[in-house]
Amino acid sequence: MLWSKNMKRILTAVLILSAGLFSPAAADEWSTTARLNIPRAGAAAVTYNGKIYVFGGKSVNNNVLNSVEVYDPLNETWSITEVASFKYARYNATAIVWKDKIYLIGGRSNNKVMEKMEVYDPAQNMWSKAHEMHNEREGHSANILNDHIYVFGGRKSSDYVDDIEWYDAENSEWEEADTDMEDHSRAAHFNAVYENTYYMFGGYFYGGPTNTIYKLRPDSSNAAWTEIGRLDTPRAYGATAAIDSFIFLIGGETNSGKSTLVEIFNTGDGQLSRGKDMSTARSGMAVALLENKIFIIGGYTGSSNDIVDDVDIYTPDITAIVEYPRPGPQTFRLARAYPNPFNGRIRMDFEIPLSGTVQIDILNSMGQKIRRLENSFFRPGSYSLFWDARDNRGRFVASGAYFVLIRTREQHQILKITYVK
């Protein structure tokens, strides 16, 4: 619960963020961590319960893998024995977490594109086979929209897939969406979902990499693809990660070879900005987001497509405010959060300069909103709120890093907090 209060100006532990568009490049950095046990390209990766899971991929000598590697950030090691191998070796597949299970979808064996889906239950350390997609696909994307798994794009043999499919869990079968890819079929495209809207960047089409940016909201009554911009350079087969409303496009293939480029797309204003480039050009990497750090895993390097076991970590500066320029001092202040780290509950003090609706959410390290604290109209003034380390279902969250997201119509601000049981 929030209440208005006259507060003394806090001179210490103050986080005052200057007005202006998000500019993560100012404090971006790249680092490395432990290498994979096996070099992999075209692998799929997810984050689950504080660890990174990497599935399959192609290794040296064209060996297609069915093994799983698990990264533990506490000791910075990869385990290849923690998770059972899946049945169908594959690369260029997708993996996604949904309702506490991990879905491995499509991909290619040595000589065939697959429509197969396997499901991993972490609680049982067990794989099971699930209903096949209608279409064989590699280089497709899998995203959660309308509380369903949706798959977009991809290729089957030399053809691009037009149909969009979603998984009906109640009946354990795939359904075709009312909307298809129309003339926007792509494979190995950059993609992400924000506020139930699907964003697609570049990707392969007949003739090579493309540079168009599209968005689609499948649940709208007149769902249609909308072109909203262009990449500076046509690109495909790179890595995508989304942190709140910002989508990071990393590396990939261009018409002149592999790229080190990092671009950040702001869904708020539709603008692209530059991040800090990778040190080595790569494509076909797996990607995972852990504690707002982007892990770039394996992939191809060089003109001979050498497969690597490198794991690089991109740490963008997300402690920033997004604000459309307006005259005068209009920013709000999230003055402090204390105690931080906390056990039990944490207090956050902030100031609102203008009347309006304020949304306050808690995000986990994957950028998922786990708790809505407020969505109310506020007048200018000083306010405080508490969080008791529970999610929207009243369950206590796990220890780790979380983010307070305070959003108004004109701007938003993120503050990192740490919960310790």
Residue 324 has pLDDT above 80, yes or no: no
pLDDT band, very low/low/confident/very high, at 419 (cuts 50, 70, 90): very high
pLDDT band, very low/low/confident/very high, at 390 (cuts 50, 70, 90): very high
CA distance 346 to 384: 10
Helix (H, G, I), strand (E, B) or coil at 61: helix
Mean pLDDT of 371-386: 82
Please, are residues 242 and 260 in contact by the beta-carbon 8 Å criterion?
Answer: no
pLDDT at residue 326, as a whole number: 37
Of the ranges 19-28, 153-162, 386-395, which one carries the lowest mean pLDDT score?
19-28
- Structure token digits, residue 386: 């508490």
Please, are residues 333 and 14 in contact by the beta-carbon 8 Å criterion?
Answer: yes
Which segments of 355-398 does DSSP mark as H helices, in order? none
CA distance 195 to 245: 9
Domain 24-315 in the same topology as domain 3-20+320-419: no
Mean pLDDT of 264-270: 92
pLDDT in tens, 35-69: 999 999 999 999 998 999 999 999 999 999 999 99
Helix (H, G, I), strand (E, B) or coil at 418: strand
Of the ranges 5-19, 227-241, 393-407, which one carries the lowest mean pLDDT score?
5-19
Mean pLDDT of 320-347: 63
pLDDT in tens, 220-251: 667 889 999 999 999 999 999 998 889 999 99
Task: Tell me the pLDDT of the chain averaged across its residues.
Answer: 87
Domain range annotation of the chain: 3-20+320-419, 24-315
Mean pLDDT of 299-322: 85
Please, are residues 317 and 388 in contact by the beta-carbon 8 Å criterion?
Answer: no
pLDDT at residue 27, as a whole number: 57
CA-based R_g, the chain, Å: 22
- Sequence-distant (6+) residues with CB within 8 A of 268 are 245, 322
Q: CATH number of the domain at 24-315, please?
A: 2.120.10.80
pLDDT at residue 412, as a whole number: 72
Residue 80 has pLDDT above 70, yes or no: yes
For tokens 């204390």, name the residue.
Answer: 338
pLDDT at residue 265, as a whole number: 96
Residue 339 has pLDDT above 60, yes or no: yes
Between residues 125 and 368, the one the model is more confident about: 125
pLDDT at residue 410, as a whole number: 63
- Chain-centroid distance, C-alpha 119: 20
Task: For residue 91, give the DSSP letter.
Answer: B
Q: CATH number of the domain at 3-20+320-419, please?
A: 2.60.40.4070
CB atoms within 10 A of CB 74: 7
CA distance 148 to 88: 24
Helix (H, G, I), strand (E, B) or coil at 62: helix
CA distance 13 to 231: 39
pTM here is: 0.73
pLDDT band, very low/low/confident/very high, at 318 (cuts 50, 70, 90): low
Helix (H, G, I), strand (E, B) or coil at 27: helix
CA distance 46 to 310: 17
CA distance 77 to 24: 28
Please, are residues 310 and 264 in contact by the beta-carbon 8 Å criterion?
Answer: no
Residue 4 has pLDDT above 60, yes or no: no
Phi, psi at 333, each rounded to 5°: -125, 125
CA distance 8 to 198: 44
Between residues 39 and 328, the one the model is more confident about: 39
Mean pLDDT of 123-139: 96
CA separation, residue 266 to residues 75, 146, 231 (Å): 34, 22, 13
Phi, psi at 43, each rounded to 5°: -80, 165
Helix (H, G, I), strand (E, B) or coil at 196: coil
- Residue count of the chain, please give it: 421
pLDDT at residue 415, as a whole number: 83
pLDDT at residue 215, as a whole number: 96
pLDDT at residue 409, as a whole number: 65
